[in-house]
Structure 1
Amino acid sequence: MSPEPAASPPGRVARWRDQVIALGWLVLVWNLLWGDFSWGNLAGGMLVAGAVLLFFPLPPVSFGGRLRPWALLVFLARFVGELVSASAHVARIAVQPGYLPRGAIIAVPLRVRTDLNLALTAEAVSLVPGTLIVEADRDAGILYVHVLDVHGPQDLTGSRERILAVERRIVRVIGSAAELRRVEADPVERGPGS
């Protein structure tokens, strides 16, 4: 698999726009943490957010795709289904007397190696009970995932395929045409439930 092409650096207007958006989110989070929207909290949030953005600058995150509402609805429906199913499975393991589940850590190389795809896939996988991101290798585009209740190699393969299916659904929601072709052409994850 060839590495991701280097994204062209964003223009000055795009960088300022991204900084203003980040500032707004940080101020919102500051006010939510305090639990009170007041002028003092707004000013304090602006100061803290400005300091965070000045002293801890975030790397630029490129977004070359577009939002596809229908794919977003499909992603959300599948995600809720997986969330309910995994929650029931983990609950059964927790209350089953004397059962000791085996866990494993698997490496899952992603097909789309952008920071945005890596972060979104890692978040979606971590939110499902029974899976947890142990490490994300940004340069190689690999997620190292702890999976619960492994009985054999088929469970490892199934977990890897489920994670790649999550990546594919995320790319369907926000990916560019080239990224979408890349995940659709990969035969590794074809099968029921993907």
Structure 2
Amino acid sequence: MTDAAREPVAADRGAAAPPPPRREDLTRWQVVWRQLPLLAVLVALWLFLWDHVDVLTVTTGVILAIVVTRTLYLPPVLLSGRFNPWRGLLLGFIMMYDVTVASIQVAARAVQPGWQPMNAIIAVQLLTRSDLVTTLTAEAITVVPGTVVVDIDRERGLLYLHAFATRSEADLEKATAHVLATEERIVLAIGTREQAAAVREARRQRKSQGRPQSETQPVEIPDREEDA
């Protein structure tokens, strides 16, 4: 089995998008509001671990969630404060469809007589620089059988993944387009208004110019949200 390296599809067509709004640009209440869903998830996880709900477990869960988000040396996770229910449902249904189809394809390849696998390591230039969007995109890609994210270049906005059954240039383009389409759906579901608007505009320009999904350029997003 031979792995082939592939350069980023969009790396040479423009600079990557600027980073999302910085934590220091937001007020204390804006930071708390954006981290509230993350705190709620951590508290819920704590309750699931204890399998018991009372005043003590809820209180300790809240305290631990605050400690984890405030003291651990990790990049701050600031949620956009926006969620599109329809786009969220669409994202979930498409992911379930992709997982089902990919599982059948991988299983069929595993029992196909005489089939020789040929895989590749692909570097994909993401559309945005959001840590949250990058993480969710990597998770969504890895969940689908046949693709595994092996590394992330956070500074350059690159996602490196191992793609299964990439025997031709068309297969490589298809794998790249799948990653970018997944990132688009995530941005439209939970990204900021600026990110969603920029992604829609980039998609309109790509379609008007007749370019494939794999040739989508990184979007330009303002450094600060006006509605934060």
Q: TM > 0.5 between the two?
A: yes
TM range (shorter): 0.7 to 0.9
From 84, 87, 109, give the equivalent of 1:71. 87
From 171, 180, 186, give the equivalent of 2:200. 180
For 1:124, the equivalent position in structure 2 comes to 140
Paired AA for residue 200 in structure 2: L
For 1:171, the equivalent position in structure 2 comes to 187
For 2:130, the equivalent position in structure 1 comes to 114
From 9, 27, 31, give the equivalent of 1:11. 27
For 1:2, the equivalent position in structure 2 comes to 15
| TM-score, normalisation: structure 1 | 0.81
Q: How much has 1:2 moved relative to structure 2?
A: 3.4
Answer whether contact 1:63 1:116 (CA < 8 A) is retained.
Answer: no
The alignment's C-alpha RMSD in Å is 2.6
Structure 1: tracts of 5 or more residues without a match: none
* Separation of aligned partners in 2, 1:172 and 1:27: 27
Q: Secondary structure at the match of 2:124?
A: strand
Paired AA for residue 168 in structure 2: G
Paired AA for residue 61 in structure 2: G
From 78, 86, 96, give the equivalent of 1:61. 78
Cα distance change, pair 173–43 in 1 and its aligned pair in 2 (3 A): closer
Q: CA-to-partner distance for each residue in 1:42-91, whole Å, 9 max, x for gaps?
A: 34323432332232165143528x43333333333322221111010111
* Separation of aligned partners in 2, 1:120 and 1:184: 24
* Separation of aligned partners in 1, 2:80 and 2:36: 17
Q: Secondary structure at the match of 1:176?
A: helix
| TM-score, normalisation: structure 2 | 0.71
Aligned length: 189
Cα distance change, pair 72–18 in 1 and its aligned pair in 2 (3 A): closer
* Separation of aligned partners in 2, 1:31 and 1:179: 37
Q: Secondary structure at the match of 2:80?
A: coil
Structure 2: tracts of 5 or more residues without a match: 1-13, 215-228
